[in-house]
């Protein structure tokens, strides 16, 4: 299999940041994806698989190995079951389900990236999450294709077993509900308008940088002033609220900025590099830790560091 050399990864991430991949390949289907990985393993080349390039920060030094762009985009719908290849863009799955009068994925409207990435990170928004609809996930494990039931995937808030093992997600099977296309389209229109109003969509970013904080016995609530009641009700403190409370909105280092529109977004104002972003992330984590004794955890994943 022929790999390309020294390809800038900034072209393949929503952050528009990152150095070169030493080796590079675009897989147009699952067979090509599996073959590329097999070749990399035989040649003892480190590899990573990227989908839509959202939710990642690539090092300025790039990646000293093979970057595979997953474009396996097969999608099949039978009754209320949707089976999609991991490289299908999430908004395509949303649109196809709506076209077939299926409901359950409206919350995902406007989220960039592929369904494989959403399954891996248990993406969620607007009181919905990926694991709500998953039946099975097909993965490549140790050279073999196996099917995992949802209960075997270790789903939690923005987490799954796939973040901690070497499984490669090949496809996912979803169970949706019979719905009404007009109602779903109305809901999606409202969500997209809300995103446009609240999120800095006009700038390159990786999406939400930090996971929200779950309220448990380790959180000292006496350290908070004016914590909204709904956060206590849902037992979750938005990372954006924490960052806002420290007056960090608009803080800039180099070409990277904590968005003035949404404090949990770091945007590329035009010439940001990965080091600028890392410094901002470190600053936010330090300030939150010092004020609230809380350790923020990134949603964004690091490549090449």
What are the chain's domains? 4-70 (3.30.43.10), 75-182 (3.30.465.10), 201-303 (3.90.78.10)
**Which residue in 82, 290, 107 sits closest to 194, CA to CA?**
107
Q: What is the dihedral of CA 143, 46, 57, 111, to 10 degrees?
A: -20
Q: Given this model, what pLDDT does residue 299 score?
A: 92
Percent of the chain with pLDDT over 90: 92
**Known catalytic residue at 173:** no
Distances (CA, A) of 26 to 39, 46, 52, 72, 86: 14, 16, 12, 10, 14
The predicted pLDDT at position 291 comes to 95
pLDDT tier, 188 (very low <50, low <70, confident <90, very high otherwise): very high
Active site residue 222: no
Task: Name the one residue in this structure whose structure tokens are 């995902």.
Answer: 108
Give backbone dihedrals phi and psi of 176, rounded to 5 degrees, phi first.
-110, 180
Report pLDDT for 269: 97
Q: Which of 75, 148, 146, 79 is nearest to 114 (CA)?
A: 75
pLDDT in tens, 126-141: 989 999 999 999 999 9
Say what the pTM is: 0.90
Alpha carbon dihedral 2, 3, 5, 10, in 10-degree steps, equals 140
The span from the CA of 152 to the CA of 162, in Å, is 11
> How far apart (Å, rounded) are the C-alpha atoms in residues 64 and 217?
42
Here the tokens at position 224 are 């908070």
Query: 86, 208, 245, 259: which one is catalytic?
Result: 208
* pLDDT higher than threshold 90 for residue 225: no
Q: Which long-range contacts (CB under 8 A, 24 or more apart) does 270-273 make?
A: 272/15, 272/17, 273/17, 273/60
Average pLDDT over residues 185-204: 95
For the chain, the straight-line distance linking the first and the last C-alpha, in angstroms and rounded, comes to: 27
Indicate which residue of 106, 138, 173, 299 is catalytic: 299
Nearest Cα residue to 238 out of 271, 207, 263: 263
d(CA 78, CA 55): 31
pLDDT greater than 80 at residue 56: yes
190 is annotated as an active-site residue:
no
Cβ burial, residue 77 (10 Å; 0-12/13-18/19+): middle
Mean pLDDT of 75-97: 95
How confident is the model at residue 2, as a pLDDT?
A: 87
Annotated catalytic residue within 158, 181, 195, 249: 158
**Which pLDDT tens digit goes with each residue over 235-249?**
999 999 999 999 999
What are the C-alpha distances in Å from 279 to residues 57, 115, 269?
A: 13, 30, 15
Check residue 140 and give its pLDDT: 95
Strand ranges, E, within 61-126 = 63-70, 75-78, 81-85, 102-103, 124-125
């Amino acid at each position: 299999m022929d790999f390309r050399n020294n390809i800038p990864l900034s072209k393949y991430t929503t952050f528009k940041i990152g150095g070169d991949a030493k080796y590079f390949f675009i897989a147009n289907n699952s067979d090509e994806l599996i073959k590329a990985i097999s070749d990399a393993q035989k040649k003892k080349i480190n590899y990573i698989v990227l989908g839509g390039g959202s939710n990642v920060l690539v090092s300025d030094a790039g990646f000293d190995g093979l970057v595979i762009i997953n474009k396996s985009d097969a999608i099949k719908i039978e009754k209320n079951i949707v089976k999609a290849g991991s490289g299908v863009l999430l908004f395509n799955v949303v649109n196809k389900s709506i076209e077939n009068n299926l409901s359950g994925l409206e919350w995902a409207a406007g989220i960039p990236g592929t369904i494989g990435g959403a399954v891996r990170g248990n993406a969620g928004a607007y009181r919905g999450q990926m694991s709500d609809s998953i039946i099975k996930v097909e993965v490549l494990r140790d050279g073999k294709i196996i099917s995992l039931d949802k209960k075997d995937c270790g789903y939690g808030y923005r987490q799954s077993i796939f973040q901690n093992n070497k499984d490669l997600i090949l496809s996912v099977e979803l169970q949706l509900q019979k719905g009404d296309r007009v109602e779903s389209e109305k809901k999606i229109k409202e969500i997209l308008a809300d995103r446009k109003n609240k999120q800095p969509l006009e700038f390159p970013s990786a999406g939400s940088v930090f996971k929200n904080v779950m309220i448990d016995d380790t959180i000292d609530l006496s350290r908070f002033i004016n914590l909204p009641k709904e956060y206590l009700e849902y037992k979750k403190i938005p990372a954006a609220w924490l960052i806002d409370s420290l007056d960090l909105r608009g803080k800039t280092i180099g070409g990277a900025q904590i968005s003035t529109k949404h404090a949990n977004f770091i945007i590329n104002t035009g010439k940001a590099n990965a080091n600028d972003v890392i410094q901002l992330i470190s600053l936010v984590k330090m300030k939150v830790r010092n004020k609230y004794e809380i350790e923020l955890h990134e949603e964004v994943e690091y490549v090449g560091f």
